[in-house]
A and B are shown apart, each in its own frame.
Chain A
Amino acid sequence: MVSAVIDKARQGSFDEDLVLVERFLSGDARAFEELYSKYYEKVFAIARGVLMDADEASDAVQEVFTLVYRHLARFDKRSRFSTWLFRVAVNRSIQEARRNRYRSRTVALTEAAGKVAAEEPDTTDPKVQATLTKLSPADRALLVLFYWEELSLQDIADSIGCGVNAAKTRLYRARERFRTIYEANP
């Protein structure tokens, strides 16, 4: 059970989550609850950033953790658990965003605006929100991981499943697209 943990510790990049992972895989259900509590907000932030909707994000978070719960044995422990979890979260959120794109377009704008205004007083720059909404889910995911979760380029690369250079290029392009839309907005 502890062999993977010891290996990681020897490499000097100890991932404390591995203990919880191993405990869960050994049958300790509470270990998973600990992982869930620890990462709920981060996964929610990623899902919210990609989906731009709190309800959809809550739903996506439950799906992400359900996937992790069922397939944690497939986690090969080559990366940190959090990176693997973020990768699942990003992929699932992008998938969900693409699926919901048509549905979102058909929602009346006034209805949506009214709902947001009533439930969540927004103190952030509306221009930023509007710009983020116009970006693709994949671009939003990159910006969320970099600016909100403040992940390193290596962690972003692991989270989106590409190399560091590719992650850097994609982030640069996402940022430029954000800037273009942001500056085009009155």
Chain B
Amino acid sequence: MKRVAPELESLMWTLAEEGNDRAIDEFGARHPELRSELLKRIAMVKGLRGAKKRQSESPKAIPRFVPRETTARGPILIVGGLVLAALCALAFALTILLTPAPHLHVVEQPKPAVVPLATDAPLPPPQAPVVQTPNPLPPKVEPKDEDSDLKPGTLKIKHAPLLSVLQLISETCGVRIDPAPGMPNPDVVVDYRDMNAMQMLRDLGKQYSFTPLDQHDGSILVVPAVDPNAPSEDNTPVGMDRVKKVGG
């Protein structure tokens, strides 16, 4: 249906509501394209007004008015809320009262045996008793080695291109290695024993200036760059001073 301007819409509704035949005819003459729209509105208004007939038939006799007993919801809600609040307060108080306070165990340190001193060295100050809380802090857990999930392997190669070595590390250690574009591909010599892929790659990276990044999805990305600000643990390749690797 073509969109009708709001003023014309409003005018059509007014004409339909007033039912002035002359005005309707005039409108139809001025806007013949809207004549059918106007007739639809006239029919709708007639239908709407006609729907009231049904109402006038309905109340045959007016029933006697008897004020109903209204359920006073307000006071019930207020009382209910207060009771709920009181129960919450009671539960909180009971929780506080019944929870035992943490006991402090005072452990007497055994007094050191007094040994007569032959020298003039000053005596150590007496030790204060150690106060132990019932829940001492849990022992510090050593951070888990991120690479411990990776499977160790052994690899010994004499003179092979770096990219082929990466491929072999991948197959040996069961991880996917994705070398980034621009990786160098010199001939390398490796001899790794019981080392996982990350350890091997880190060691190779130190020598050939690349960085392995564990993607934690079973793959390692190898980028031909080295972070100069990376914490240097040991710049010497493993193979130089450790038993596990001989290579480079």
Q: What residues make up the interface of A, taking CB atoms closer than 8 Å to B?
A: 32-33, 36-37, 40-41, 44-45, 48-49, 54, 57-58, 62-63, 65-66, 69-70, 120, 122-125, 127-129, 132, 143, 147-148, 172, 175-176, 178-179, 182-183
Q: Give, as a whole number of angstroms, the nearest-CB distance from B240 to chain A.
A: 79
- Cβ 8 A contact of A66, one of B53, B57, B68: B68
Q: A62-B68, A66-B67, A183-B40 are in contact. Are A44 and B54 (CB under 8 A)?
A: no
Cα A144 to Cα B165 in complex, Å, equals 86
Q: Are A148 and B65 in contact (CB under 8 A)?
A: no
Give chain B residues whose Cβ lies under 8 Å from the Cβ of A58. Answer: 59, 63
Please name 23 pairs of A and B residues whose Cβ atoms are closer than 8 Å in the assembled complex, sorted by A.
A32-B65, A33-B65, A36-B62, A40-B59, A41-B56, A48-B58, A58-B63, A62-B66, A65-B65, A66-B68, A66-B70, A69-B65, A120-B58, A122-B54, A123-B53, A123-B54, A125-B50, A128-B47, A128-B50, A179-B40, A182-B44, A182-B47, A183-B40
Docked CA distance A129–B195 (Å)? 82
A62 with B65: CB separation less than 8 A: yes
Task: Give bound CA distance, A116 to B50, whole Å.
Answer: 18
Distance in angstroms from A8 CB to nearest chain B CB is: 26
Within 8 A of A (CB), among B40-74: 40-41, 44-45, 47-59, 62-63, 65-68, 70
A125→B47 contact, CB < 8 A: yes
- Bitwise interface map of B from 63 to 89 toward A, beta carbon under 8 Å scored 1, else 0: 101111010000000000000000000
Chain B contact residues, majority secondary structure: helix
Hey, which chain A residues are within 8 Å of B27, CB to CB? Answer: none
Bound together, the chains give a CA A36 to CA B66 distance in angstroms of 11
Q: How far is the CA of A176 from the CA of B50 in the complex (A)?
A: 18
Residues of chain B from 1 to 57 with CB closer than 8 A to chain A in the complex: 9-10, 13, 40-41, 44-45, 47-57
**CB-CB < 8 A to B66: which residues of A?**
62
> Which of B48, B49, B53 is close to A178, meaning CB atoms less than 8 Å apart?
B48
Contact A179:B62 (CB < 8 A) given known A120-B57, A147-B49: no
Give bound CA distance, A71 to B56, whole Å.
Answer: 28
Q: How far is the CA of A54 from the CA of B52 in the complex (A)?
A: 13
Complex CA distance for A186 and B57, rounded to whole angstroms: 28
Chain B residues near A132 (CB, 8 Å)? 51
- Chain A residues with CB under 8 Å of B52's CB are 45, 49, 147-148
Say whether A49 contacts B47, CB under 8 Å: no
B62 partner residues in chain A, CB cutoff 8 A = 36-37, 40-41
Closest to B13 in A: A175
B90 to chain A, nearest CB (A): 35
Interchain nearest-CB distance for A160 vs B (Å): 18
B47 to chain A: closest residue by CB: A128
Cβ of B106 to closest chain A Cβ, rounded Å: 67
B47: chain A residues at CB < 8 Å are: 124-125, 127-128, 182
Contact A70 B53 (CB under 8 A): no
A164 smallest CB distance to B (angstroms): 15
Smallest CB-CB separation from A32: which chain B residue?
B65
Given A175-B13, A182-B44, 10 other A-B residues pairs in contact with their CB atoms under 8 A: A40-B59, A45-B56, A49-B52, A69-B65, A69-B67, A124-B53, A128-B47, A128-B51, A147-B48, A183-B40
A176–B41 Cα gap in the complex (Å)? Answer: 10
A148 — which chain B residues lie within 8 A by C-beta? 49, 51-52, 55
User: Cβ of A129: which chain B residues have Cβ within 8 Å of it?
Assistant: 51
Chain A positions within 8 Å of B41 at CB level: 179
Which 10 residue pairs across A and B have the least CB separation, nearest first?
A128-B47, A148-B52, A45-B55, A125-B47, A66-B68, A147-B48, A36-B65, A40-B62, A124-B51, A66-B67
**Bound form: Cα–Cα A182–B55 in Å:** 20
